[in-house]
Structure 1
Amino acid sequence: MYSHVLNRLSSSLWATWQTRLLVFSVLLICILTGSNEALAHAVTAGDKGYIQEISGVNILPFMYLGAKHMITGYDHILFLFGVIFFLYRMKHIGIYVSLFALGHSTTMILGVYFNIGMNSYLIDAIIGLSVVYKALDNIGAYQTWFGYQPNTKIAVLIFGLFHGFGLSTKILEYEMSPDGLLPNLLAFNMGVEIGQLLALAIILIGMSYWRRTSSFIRNAYTANVAMMSAGFILVGMQLTGYLMSQ
């Protein structure tokens, strides 16, 4: 009897802790997006100055910058979290992550190589919308509202293309030297993929522990609502930054 009570108490405390963690995560994103640097998701002055001073092929520095951008890119991480939220088999995770990587790699490399720039606030607002879209998809909103389920693989690929334009916009801010541009771009992209795999590994470890508890099903809806709220906050802050910059 006592063990039963303790188990119920432990489960209740675990659920309360998770809810607080979700609220804290949303508040943390609010704080991050409240800063000028986070508004535009801009490159740091130190990184930009370093890139402007070097020329030629620099594989390792650009790999580092790519990995750093992905790991610190809270919008990319939120979208990735939403993508794998209900994926249990590694085969399915690999397919979706590969589609996302294909999308952002294509537009990132082509965008920089052909100097196709976009307003950083607007592209980051679209990336924020991708988080909202995926959260709504996870809670079955499209089936409920429209009686139709969009193709999730195509959606991940398309939003991957927009994430890639976000990356290319940041790279153009580096004002990279044309000397060794393509190898450096490929190195940056490789760094992005390494950063993505590291972030994915951390997410999967956390999710694997959470999924073993009964609170996962109970709080899955709340988690996605929190993620959707964070996406709307990102969109609002980016659009505010855009209007302020005009």
Structure 2
Amino acid sequence: MCSTLLADRKHVLRASPTYRLFWIFLTFGLFGMSADVLAHAVAEGDKGYIQEITGVNLIAFMYLGAKHMVTGYDHLLFLLGVIFFLYQMKHIAIYVSLFAVGHSTTMLLGVYFNIGINSYIIDAIIGLSIVYKALDNIGAYQRWFGFQPNTKAATLIFGFFHGFGLSSKIIEYDISPDGLVPNLLAFNVGVEIGQLIALAMILIAISFWRKTDGFFRHAYTTNVAMMSAGFLLFGYQLTGYFVA
């Protein structure tokens, strides 16, 4: 399997001052985002729709699931980190499948069995999942601690947490038990469709980027920016937990 460690790539150079500024702008940009965006919530209009409808509504729930994944900044950042140094489609398929299995399992079981976790806590953990992957991509674990975590196991485990993040939100909206199981399955199918759409867009963008001379030069800075975003989300959610 291809390595995910930036430190193992001999062509990595120091990022230019321009690209060092990228993560600073990203961090301040996230500070400027609204509380609703950073709170990983379902959109207000969708929330009202979920609370009002009853019975089986497969198309509607598929749409809501796809919309959540495509607009879910935390899922997208984690997926970007996971595939950042994966070049072969079979490796991408393995890791994305592990994330999908974890995400789907806890989302479905969490809602069905009414297993709720404080949304601030679970979203803080999701922020740390982004930090974990960014550190993995820059080879921090081997340099700092002398060991390499099992990346497949970590992807699956963090997939569980991402699924609990969504199930906790759905539980808060008191979805109708009438048609619950088929609606949840449809929602999950939508999530996976949205994940494939988002993954396709990420792969297209990163494939073009990899063909440029500056990819390895700027990869370190990009992962530092991603790590900064994860820490920001973690801190924001912990602050919300203690203040709310």
The TM-score with structure 1 as length reference comes to 0.89
Stretch of structure 1 that moved more, 153-162 or 36-45: 36-45
When residues 16 and 71 of structure 1 are mapped into structure 2, their CA distance, relative to the original with a 3 A threshold, is farther
Aligned residue in 2 for 1:37: 36
Stretch of structure 1 that moved more, 36-45 or 196-205: 36-45
Report the CA distance between 1:187 and its aligned residue. Answer: 0.6
TM-superposition CA deviations, 1:127-167 (whole Å, max 9, x none): 00000000000000000111111110000000000001001
Aligned residue in 1 for 2:210: 211
Report the CA distance between 1:22 and its aligned residue. Answer: 4.8
Aligned residue in 1 for 2:180: 181
Aligned residue in 1 for 2:135: 136
Question: How many angstroms apart in 1 are the aligned matches of 2:80 and 2:198?
Answer: 9
- Map 1:20-31; keep pairs closer than 5 Å: 22-31=23-32
Report the CA distance between 1:44 and its aligned residue. Answer: 2.6
Question: How many angstroms apart in 1 are the aligned matches of 2:38 and 2:200?
Answer: 27
Contact 1:82/1:131 (8 A) holds in 2: yes
Question: How many angstroms apart in 1 are the aligned matches of 2:77 and 2:219?
Answer: 15
When residues 24 and 197 of structure 1 are mapped into structure 2, their CA distance, relative to the original with a 3 A threshold, is farther
Stretch of structure 1 that moved more, 167-176 or 185-194: 167-176
Aligned residue in 2 for 1:96: 95
Stretch of structure 1 that moved more, 172-181 or 74-83: 172-181
RMSD: 1.7
The structure carrying a bigger helix percent of its residues is 1
When residues 26 and 199 of structure 1 are mapped into structure 2, their CA distance, relative to the original with a 3 A threshold, is farther
Kindly, what percent of the aligned residue pairs are identical? 72
Contact 1:136/1:142 (8 A) holds in 2: yes
SS of corresponding position for 1:179: coil
The answer to whether 1:146 aligns with 2:121 is: no
Report the CA distance between 1:72 and its aligned residue. Answer: 1.3
The answer to whether 1:108 aligns with 2:107 is: yes
Contact 1:43/1:173 (8 A) holds in 2: no
SS of corresponding position for 2:122: helix
Residue segments in structure 2 that go unaligned for 5+ positions in a row: 1-15
Report the AA paired with residue 232 of structure 1: F
Question: How many angstroms apart in 1 are the aligned matches of 2:29 and 2:190?
Answer: 26
SS of corresponding position for 2:82: helix
Question: How many angstroms apart in 2 are the aligned matches of 1:67 and 1:243?
Answer: 32
Report the AA paired with residue 170 of structure 2: I
Aligned residue in 1 for 2:222: 223
Residue segments in structure 1 that go unaligned for 5+ positions in a row: 1-14
Which structure has the larger Rg over C-alpha atoms? 1
Question: How many angstroms apart in 2 are the aligned matches of 1:234 and 1:103?
Answer: 21
SS of corresponding position for 2:178: coil
- Map 1:149-160; keep pairs closer than 5 Å: 149-160=148-159
Question: How many angstroms apart in 2 are the aligned matches of 1:225 and 1:84?
Answer: 16
Report the CA distance between 1:20 and its aligned residue. Answer: 5.6
Number of aligned positions between the proteins: 230
The TM-score with structure 2 as length reference comes to 0.89
Question: How many angstroms apart in 2 are the aligned matches of 1:18 and 1:184?
Answer: 44
